[in-house]
């Protein structure tokens, strides 16, 4: 059957109808985006220019920072620009591109966080074999698996989005193009499609979260047998990871693991995994990590002094 598509663009309703609130959000999210970019770029440069690059945990952190930049840049610049205009339009092709990139980079982040949990499990539960198990070849394969898994996750959702027929209203009650808001305005019965979306997004988020929860549970249980200093250092790293996981996964599970529908609160929850969590990642991983703080001082103080 030929796909009906009588629209060339969508109108995003944004975060609020109140102009004062939108101006406040503009200033807030602009600062958040600048902080996110600066923080993640600091991590990228500092890890790449130091010996930390040879350590698996920081190698994965470097990739996480790269993904954070790509992931939030698919949504945040458009959101910030739209807060200053009354008509928030996005073309059909850009909307579909946003659906794909959001789920691709978001999926990559999910699988990299899982890889980082596995790295901590090996480091704490099998310390004598850590460097043998987490050699650079295996690290590269894990990163490749994260990208591949994200593609397998994103392509079906993108296919669902581009095959939806649109023949009526073109207003999306959100600040970016996502699959559930698009299902709401499609001119067809989308119940089965919504179930497929839950299978591809909701179940991926839930299963990954359970795996991460169990992994850190095993790690915390294993720490009972370590020295007080070893427990303190390991707990500092693990709590950083757990904080990032909770900030990212809690809103994801709320939005994608439920009957296919939309709520006004979805836009607020989406802010957590599109802006807030990526912004806090650099702070969480540096302020609670003495090794990372020392590296930042060495790399940037040396750069300033050399000038």
pLDDT per residue over 151-194, tens digit each?
999 999 999 999 888 887 888 888 999 888 898 888 888 788 88
Quote the CA–CA distance of 6 and 185 in Å, as a whole number.
12
Reply yes or no on whether the pLDDT at 5 is more than 80. Answer: no
pLDDT tens digit sequence for 55-98? 898 899 999 999 999 999 999 999 999 999 888 999 999 999 99
Look up the pTM and report it: 0.87
Asked whether 220 and 230 are in contact (CB, 8 A), the reply is no
Query: What is the edge-to-edge ordering of all strands in the sheet holding 9-12?
Result: 89-91, 9-12, 171-172
Rg (CA), the chain: 21
Angle of helix 56-73 relative to helix 19-48, nearest 10 degrees, comes to: 150
Per-domain boundaries in the chain: 9-305
Has domain 9-305 been given CATH number 1.20.1070.10?
yes
Least confident window among 47-61, 163-177, 290-304: 290-304
pLDDT tens digits for range 204-239? 888 888 888 888 888 878 777 777 766 676 676 677
Query: Where is pLDDT greater, at 29 or 227?
Result: 29
| pLDDT tens, position by position, 110-133 | 899 889 888 988 888 888 888 899
**Residue 84 burial (CB count, 10 A):** 11
pLDDT at 1 > cutoff 50: no
Q: Could you tell me the CA-to-CA distances from 290 to 61, 148, 180, 282 in Å, in that order?
A: 15, 33, 42, 13
**Mean pLDDT score across all residues of the chain:** 84
């Amino acid at each position: 059957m030929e796909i009906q598509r009588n629209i060339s663009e969508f109108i995003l309703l944004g975060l609020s109808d109140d102009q004062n609130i939108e101006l406040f959000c503009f200033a807030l999210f602009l600062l958040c985006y600048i902080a996110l970019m600066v923080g993640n770029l600091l991590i990228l440069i500092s890890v790449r220019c130091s010996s930390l690059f040879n350590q698996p945990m920081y190698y994965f952190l470097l990739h996480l920072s790269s993904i954070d930049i790509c992931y939030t840049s698919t949504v945040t610049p458009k959101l910030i620009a739209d807060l200053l205009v009354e008509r928030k339009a996005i073309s059909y092709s850009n909307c579909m591109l946003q659906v794909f990139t959001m789920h691709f980079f978001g999926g990559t982040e999910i699988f990299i966080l899982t890889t980082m949990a596995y790295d901590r499990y090996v480091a704490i539960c099998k310390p004598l074999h850590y460097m043998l198990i987490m050699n650079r070849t295996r690290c590269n394969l894990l990163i490749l698996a994260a990208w591949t898994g994200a593609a397998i996750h994103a392509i079906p959702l993108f296919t669902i989005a581009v095959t939806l027929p649109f023949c009526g209203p073109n207003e999306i009650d959100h600040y970016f193009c996502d699959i559930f808001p698009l299902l709401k305005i499609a001119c067809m019965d989308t119940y089965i499609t919504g179930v497929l979306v839950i299978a591809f997004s909701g179940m991926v988020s839930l299963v990954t979260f359970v795996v991460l929860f169990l992994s850190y549970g095993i790690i915390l249980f294993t720490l009972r047998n370590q020295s007080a200093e070893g427990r303190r250092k390991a707990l500092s790293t693990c709590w950083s990871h757990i904080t990032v996981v909770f900030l990212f996964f809690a809103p994801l599970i709320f939005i994608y693991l439920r009957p296919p529908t939309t709520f006004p609160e979805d836009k607020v929850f989406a802010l957590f995994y599109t802006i807030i969590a990526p912004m806090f990642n650099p702070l969480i991983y540096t302020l609670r990590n003495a090794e990372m703080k020392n590296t930042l001082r060495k790399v940037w103080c040396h750069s300033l002094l050399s000038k």
